[in-house]
Amino acid sequence: MQPLGARPVRRDPAPSRWAYRAQRLWLTPAFRAALRVGAPSLLAVTIIAAVLASADRRAAITGVFAGIVDSFQQRPEFMVTALSVDGASVELSERIRATLGLKLPVSSFDIDLAAARARIETIDAVAAAEIRVRSGGVLEVRVTEREPALIWRRGTGLVLLDETGRRVDNLAFRNERSDLPVIAGDGAELAVPEALEILAAAKPILPRIRGLVRMGERRWDVVLDRGQRILLPVTEPVVALERMIALDEAQDLLDRDVIAVDLRLRDRPVLRLAPYALAEIRRARGLDTSGSDL
């Protein structure tokens, strides 16, 4: 109790130093944000760390999560139940199915479309492929099939090539594709576009052509029936062949007893006659019957 007559003691309204600092700290936006967000986050991290500290609890959580994902992916609307291949022959379609090796039904989440497309395009007969999952659970494959342009005869057998020289497939017998021309010789498969240009220019004599032979990996010989050959130059073979065909149309050159027409020298084509024809000419001229060129 205060003594009688004593003046009452007034308390200082100013906060203490620690109270002042606490108030200033509370008014700091960063501190308030840290308290609102950081404290709950720290508590959550602590709880999660305590839960995951046990290997058994981790395995149980992983199993539950995997089960949820698996049950979602195995739902009927995500299942692929059929495979459709468009743009391919029956044989190629079967090869594509074997290459993919899918065991249906399968979840669409378990199919790597990019990898499946890459596997399909490794097949020689496939120029390009598109693959997608269509509604109704159908995996649709659309392919662009390589078209054989000619037959390449090599030491190990016959091979079908497309217009770029890419392999399409093996060929067991020549008569299976008698509609296609034949090329042969070292490096022939590397010059397919030029071979096709030559064959296009040789259209007037195409029924007589048996094939083209690559010589020295540099130029072509046109092989005709009756054992005749046209030796083309390294440069501008199409131009040389067109000139020879014009000469043949004017003078029936290839209907004569000619073994070969050598066009390798631009300004001096050479005819190689059959031995008996050359001998007849020489005898008619009263010359020695030895020799082979005219």
pLDDT at 291 over 60: no
Whether 257 and 187 share a structural domain: yes
Task: Quick: pLDDT tens for 272-286.
Answer: 887 765 555 556 555
Whether 139 and 84 share a structural domain: yes
- Last residue within a domain, chosen from 145, 168, 188: 145
Whether 163 and 134 share a structural domain: no
- Which region among 106-110, 150-154, 201-205, 212-216 has the lowest average model confidence (pLDDT)? 106-110
Residue 6 has a pLDDT of 55
Q: How much is the mean pLDDT over the chain?
A: 83
DSSP structural state of residue 188:
G
Number of domains in the chain: 3
Mean pLDDT, range 106-122, rounded to an integer:
90
CB of 114 within 8 A of CB of 124?
A: no
- Structural domain contains residue 81: yes
Task: Tell me the residue range of the domain where 279 lies.
Answer: 150-285
Residue 267 has a pLDDT of 81
Whether 25 and 95 share a structural domain: no
Q: Band of the pLDDT at 41, cuts 50, 70, 90?
A: confident
Please give the structure tokens belonging to residue 86.
């468009």
- Which region among 53-67, 168-182, 244-258 has the lowest average model confidence (pLDDT)? 53-67
- Structural domain contains residue 68: no
Q: Band of the pLDDT at 292, cuts 50, 70, 90?
A: very low
Percent above pLDDT 90 for the chain = 49
Whether 187 and 261 share a structural domain: yes
- Structural domain contains residue 237: yes
Whether 44 and 115 share a structural domain: no
- Structural domain contains residue 192: yes
Whether 82 and 103 share a structural domain: yes
Whether 163 and 228 share a structural domain: yes
Longest Cα pair distance anywhere in the chain, in angstroms?
173
pLDDT at 58 over 80: no
Mean pLDDT, range 8-19, rounded to an integer:
63
Task: Quick: pLDDT tens for 180-239.
Answer: 999 999 999 999 999 999 999 999 999 999 999 999 999 999 999 988 999 999 999 999
- CATH number, residue 249: 3.40.50.11690
- Structural domain contains residue 292: no
DSSP E strands, the chain = 79-80, 82-86, 106-107, 126-134, 138-145, 150-154, 157-161, 167-171, 182-184, 209-215, 219-224, 229-231, 258-262, 270-273
Nearest to 205 by CA among 237, 242, 177, 156: 242
Whether 164 and 278 share a structural domain: yes
Whether 140 and 158 share a structural domain: no
How buried is 114 (Cβ within 10 angstroms: 0-12 exposed, 13-18 middle, 19+ buried)? Answer: exposed
Q: Band of the pLDDT at 8, cuts 50, 70, 90?
A: low
- CATH number, residue 127: 3.10.20.310
- Last residue within a domain, chosen from 121, 145, 169: 145
- Structural domain contains residue 7: no
Residue 104: CA atoms inside 13 Å, Cβ hemisphere, count? Answer: 13
Whether 253 and 217 share a structural domain: yes
Whether 194 and 261 share a structural domain: yes
- pTM of the full structure: 0.66
